[in-house]
Every structure is written in C-alpha cells, then in structure tokens.
Amino acid sequence: MSTSVWVLPAEAVSPQARIAAEDFLIAEAALLDDRRFDEWLELFTDDVEYVAPVRSIRRRGYGDDVDWESRHFDDDKTSLSLRVRRLTETDVAWAEDPPSFTRRIVSNFRFRAGPADDELTVTTNLLLFRSRGTRGDSDVIAGERTDVLRLVDGQLKIAKRHVVLDQATLGTKNLGVFL
Amino acid sequence: MTYATHVDDLTERLRATVRPEEGTIPLFVYSDPDVYRLEQERIFGRVWQFVAHESELREEGAFVVRQMGEQSVIVARGDDGEIRVFLNACRHRGMKLTCEDRGVTSMWRCPYHGFTFANYGNFMGTPFERAAYPPDGLDRERLRLIEARCDSYAGLVFATWDEEGPSLAEYLGDMRWYLDIFAGRAEMELVGEAQRWIIPSSWKLPSENFASDAYHTATAHAFLARLGLVRSVDFGRDGYHVDAGGGHGLGMGVHDDRPGSWFPAELEDEYRARLDPDQLALLHRIRNFHGNVFPNLSFLIPNFIPVEGRLVTGMMLRLWQPAGPNRLQAWSWHLVERDAPEWWKRLGRKMYTQTFSSSGMFDQDDTEQWEAQTEVSHAALSRHDEVMLDYTMGLEARPLTDFPGPGTVYGGKFNEAAARSFYRTWLNLILEERA
C-alpha cells in the first residue's frame, strides 16, 4: 500500500487549523512586543495555567533537568492580570518603565490534536531578545513553549502555556517580560 | 607599587571613609575591584556561609554543588550520615570533581585522570595506581579532599574555611532567635531546585537591603499599595527594626488591623513545640519578615496577599553569590513547612513565585536599583573627592527596652541601624590582616 505525502493521516491537524494557530501565536507575540498588554491578556482562558519550570545541570541518566516543582512562573489568570495591571495602571513598575525593547521570534511549530476535542496543542521555539537601558546591553531568552489552544465562542484562546527555558542560570536580571 | 603597599593604601582609605557610626559610607566600596578582592580573601575566605538546607541531603550519598564566594564546593552527606563540605577540586590538577548541580553517589571520580574520592572525603585511588606511582601508590591521607568546617542551625547548613574562628552558634549570635521563627518553627523543606539568575550588581546591595531597608518599599514597591493589595505604605513602616549584631539584621512588619494568626491552624502544635512563647506570639503578629545573615543569605516571609481567595505567604531563602565586583548570581529557594496542608504549599509557592523570584513583581524592581547603583559607583574610580552616601536614618533613635527578643530593637521599620551594623562588621573583617 502506498501512502502519498499529500494525504493527511487521520490524526493530523488540518492545514486550516495549523494556519489559524500559527497566525494566532505570531499575532500574540506582536501584542507583547508592542506592549499591548490588555489585549494580550484577553487571549487567555479564565482557567489558564501559565508555568515555566526551573532547569538544573544533571548528568545524563541521573535525573530530569526540568524541575516542575520549582518554577520561574507559577501563574493563573488572576496573577497575569495583576502583572498586567502593574504595567498598565501604575507608573511605578520600575523593571519595565522605561520599557525594554523586545522582539519575540516564535518558530518551529509542531501541532498535535487535543487534549480535549476543542483543543490543539502547539509546541514552538521561543527566542526572546530583550534590550534595556542606554548601554547597548541585550539578553536573549530561549525556550520551548507548549501551548494548549482552545476554541472559545469561535475564538482561539490560550488555555495552558508551559515554557521550558534553556538556561539553568538565567542571563537576564529578571523575568519582567512575558514568555 | 607593590601589592602589599596597594592594600595598605586601600585599607587606610577604608578606615578613613567607612564611618557607619556617623551614618556615612563611601560610594566606591560598592563595586571597587580592589575592595572586591579583599572581600574574597577576608570575608568569603573566612566567615560562615550558607551552603544548603538539610532537606536537600536526606539520603546518604546525596550531594549538591554550591559556591562559597567564588569557590565551588560540594556539600555531601557521607555514607556515615555526616554532612561535609569539600572544595570541588581534585587533589591532582584541581579539576572540578563534579560539574552537575546535585546527585547521589558514594564517590566522585575526577573526569580528567580518574582520581577517586569517597563521599566522606578520603582519597580512594587512581587508575593503574601502582604502575603510575610505584611501588605502593599514593599516600591516602595526604590527598584527602580539602574540607571546610561545617555546621547547621535550624536546618540551614553553613560552612567556613576558618579553622580557628567562632562556632556557628557564636557567629549567628542573637540572630538565632529570629532564625528560629523563620526556619526553625517547624520542620522545613526547600521546594525543588534553586532559581538562579545573574544580576549586574554588587552582592552587598541586596544583602544590605534585606537586612535593613524597609523604607524603599514605599517607593520601589509602590505598586502594591496602588493596586490595593496592602492598605497603604504602612506595610513597610509599622513594626520593628533589628540590629542583631555581627552584621546580621532584620525587619518585621507588624500591623494589627486584622488580628489573629494568618498561619495555618494545622501547624500550631508544631510551632508551639519548637518556639518559646515570646517567639510564638511574635510569629502570629508579623505580616512580613525580612532579614540578612551576614554576609549574603537573605530570608523573607513576604506580606500575605490573597491567592485564590486565601491569604498566604510564600517564604523565600536567597543567596547573593558574588561573581565579580559588578555581578552576582542570585540563588532563590522557596521554603515551606514539611507537614503543612496541601493548600498552604500550593498557594504559598504561587505567592512566592509571583512576588519574590526571578519573575517576582517585587524582585524585578529591585534589580533596577541595584544595577544602577553599581554602575554609578564606578564613578568613584575617576573622582578625586570621596562621594559619601547618607546612612543616617534612625541614628538618634532609641532602642526599645521592653521587646522580648534579643539584639538592638527599634520600634518602627524606618531605620538604617542594621545597614550601619552590616558595614561595621564588613569593615572590621576587611581590615583584619592575618599572618
């Protein structure tokens, strides 16, 4: 039996869904780079889980280097709202005022149906360039994101975001920027 | 000019300009490279430093790799059950014996030539040893790992390279009473791996901040009041300021607007069994609790804020590891009562992570100040006059006489006595020449 590469296996995510998800995540990154935080917050479901575990240096075969017990972010919609309100409603969020210049590169999209019927899991690579201050300093924050996107009233929303960062010691002085 | 003459000139300058009792500290000490070099020798080479928490080393053979100043050390529970601290350096060529963060092992085998050391420090052998070192191989005792003095208090493991100095109990002194409340009130555990990140700051700035500086919260952390999470700036004012001696300091926020304990009732029996009545009464009054064990171990019970509708706090342990005159590596852990109810653990971790961590809404803002202060302090290298900074807050304040805890305790948190004490201890150590 021959299988053409042009015939999608049954479990594959449809091209339409892939394009919609990719457009959605690229637009989401643009909202953050443009600091349109209120609009960005609208992209999350009310039950969102936003988590970035801590990495450590381990010998191969001697334990996982991703520790989900310890987290750089351990957030939900309420705390994300608080972080956004801090940035948008106060003039004392010193870590981001004056703001960093950021540029998010979201790439290497991998799609998986589910876990729920109305959900799609998208794994991407994130490269976040961040520059602060007048001295030409910049940080690069790299990581792998796994997002669960859910269709809510015809709109895609982020129901879960896990970000595994690629440093055991972060080279940026704080995570005052969203991943 | 010889190095010795140079150090003499530097110590003379320090003696003349670092005047904590008058409330003045010169700008240059924050990041001067020569000062930094002396600190490595005379502070991080000598005093007790936090290296681990006992909960990380429950198993025999468990080890973690940490820093004492710029030196990499292995903190290990040996097969005999004892916790020891070794310089992470092979006795053959000084290669690191282990390059991972933690593990469980009975021995370390150097990845360079294979020299092997037991987890209690003994030299065990090396490949083809009798052929390489005929006829009998190497002297076992001479090649034992270099070991630091090690002791623990309230679950916190400390080490020092000083064989002759004070015991840990003497070193911590009056701070022990407060560490009991923070870390000794229950059996505690560190939650997971340390968060680590690099801050372009002198290690002294955050250390001094946690020891002494409640005043900055009204400005640097004003968002908390702006967003209605605390009643007003009084979260940084009402309470006590403690110069615990030995350069150790802390502040305790106490406001009695909502009486009663905010800690989980399930833990009350354990608290009562481990604290004296004065400590227990204070625990139930505090709304925040921050301090620094000299030189660079900070701790915090942050302000209680609601998470999922419940008021919780999320305890933090923080090491400000020097990594150069202008650079530090922050190590941050969440500490929690081992037998706490599940909701307290789950929400406490969230609270910790959201407020005081790499992404913490408080921490973020502090890193801006410390970086900029460090940068500004470089100006001292090219100035002929001495830029003196003001450390006078509370200089005339009279300590309380009826506070139940030890140390020099002031009513109200707006004071810089603990910062003055930090620099007095710092200066005494840095001027101490040894043969």
- B223 close contact with A: CB closer than 8 A: yes
* Sign of the C-alpha dihedral computed for residues B82, B85, B90 and B96 taken in this order: positive
Bond preceding residue A9 cis, omega within 30 of 0: no
Mean pLDDT on B405-431: 97
- Residue B67 predicted with pLDDT over 50: yes
Interchain pair A93, B198: CB under 8 A: no
pLDDT in tens, B367-401: 999 999 999 999 888 888 899 999 999 999 999 99
Reply yes or no on whether the pLDDT at B7 is more than 50. Answer: yes
DSSP state for residue B29 in the 8-state scheme: G
Contact A169 B196 (CB under 8 A): yes
pLDDT in tens, A147-175: 999 999 999 999 999 999 999 999 999 99
Tell me whether residues A176 and B194 touch, CB distance under 8 A.
Answer: no
- Report how far apart the first and last C-alpha atoms of chain B are (Å, whole number): 21
The reported pLDDT for the residue numbered B379 is: 87
Average pLDDT rounded to a whole number, residues B205-229: 90
Nearest CA in chain A to B217: A92
- pLDDT band for position B2 (50/70/90)? confident
Half-sphere exposure of B165 (CA within 13 A, CB side): 21
Question: Which one of A50, A54, A138 would you mutate to disrupt binding with B, by most B Cβ within 10 Å of its Cβ?
Answer: A54
Stated pTM of the model: 0.95
Which tokens is B402 given?
């009826």
Of the pLDDT bands very low, low, confident and very high (cuts 50, 70, 90), residue A1 is: very low
Number of CB atoms found within 10 A of residue A49's CB: 17
pLDDT at B256: 65
Strand runs labelled E in B110-238:
116-118, 123-125, 147-153, 156-160, 188-190, 195-199
In one-letter notation, the amino acid at residue A140 is V
Contact status of B220 with chain A (Cβ, < 8 Å): yes
In this model, does residue B435 exceed pLDDT 70? Answer: yes
Over chain B, what is the mean pLDDT? 94
pLDDT of residue A7: 61
Interface test with A, best of B106, B196, B368, B373 (most A CBs within 10 A): B368
Q: What value does the mean pLDDT take over residues B300-321?
A: 91
Rounded to a whole number of angstroms, the CA Rg of chain A reads: 18
Q: Are the beta carbons of B100 and A62 separated by less than 8 Å? A: yes
| pLDDT single digits (tens) B354-367 | 999 999 998 899 99
Chain B residues within 8 A of A95 when measuring between CB atoms: 364-365, 367-368
Residues B60-73: what's their mean pLDDT? 97
Only one residue has tokens 């003349």, namely B16
pLDDT digits (tens, 9 = 90+) for A103-158: 999 999 999 998 999 999 999 999 999 999 888 889 999 999 999 999 999 999 99
Min Cα distance A64 → chain B (Å) is: 11
pLDDT computed for residue A18 by the predictor:
94
Average pLDDT over residues B21-37: 96
Q: Which of B193, B219, B360 sits opposite A67 (nearest CB)?
A: B193
Interface contact B191, partner A, CB < 8 A: yes
Please give the share of chain B, as a percent, with pLDDT higher than 70: 97
Q: How distant is the Cα of A139 from the closest Cα of chain B, in angstroms?
A: 11
Separation of alpha carbons B104 and B196, rounded Å: 22
Share of residues in chain A with pLDDT > 70 (%):
94
* Average pLDDT for chain A: 93
% of chain B with per-residue pLDDT over 90: 84
pLDDT digits (tens, 9 = 90+) for A14-34: 999 999 999 999 999 999 999
Query: Each residue of A77-96: pLDDT tens digit?
Result: 999 999 999 999 999 999 99
User: Which residue from B50, B168, B62 is spatially nearest to B120, judged by alpha carbons?
Assistant: B62
Choose the mutation target among A49, A84, A170, A174 for the interface with B, i.e. most B CBs under 10 Å: A174
Residue B192: the pLDDT is 95
User: What is the strand order of the sheet A66-75 is part of?
Assistant: A66-75, A44-55, A155-165, A138-152, A119-131, A101-113
Measured between CB atoms, which of A56, A89, A173 is closest to B199? A173
Closest CA to B181 of B249, B256, B245, B272: B272
B350 touches chain A (CB under 8 A): yes
Residue B69 has pLDDT above 60, yes or no: yes
What digits encode the pLDDT tens for the residues B154-179? 999 999 999 999 999 999 999 999 99
Going by pLDDT thresholds of 50, 70 and 90, the confidence category of residue B181 is very high
Pairing label, strands B408-411, B297-301: unpaired
Pairing label, strands A44-55, A155-165: parallel
Query: To the nearest whole angstrom, how far is the Cα of B323 from the nearest Cα of chain A?
Result: 13
Binned at pLDDT 50, 70 and 90, residue B254 comes out as: confident
The pLDDT confidence band at residue B234, using thresholds 50, 70 and 90, is low
How many angstroms separate the CA atoms of B300 and B314, rounded?
8
Q: Is it the case that residue B284 has pLDDT exceeding 80?
A: yes
Q: Contact B198/A170, CB-based, under 8 Å? A: yes
- Report chain A residues whose CB lies below 8 A from the CB of B197: 169-174
Give the gyration radius of chain B's Cα atoms. 23
- The nearest CA of chain B is from the CA of A60 a distance in Å of 10
* pLDDT band of A4, cuts 50, 70, 90: low
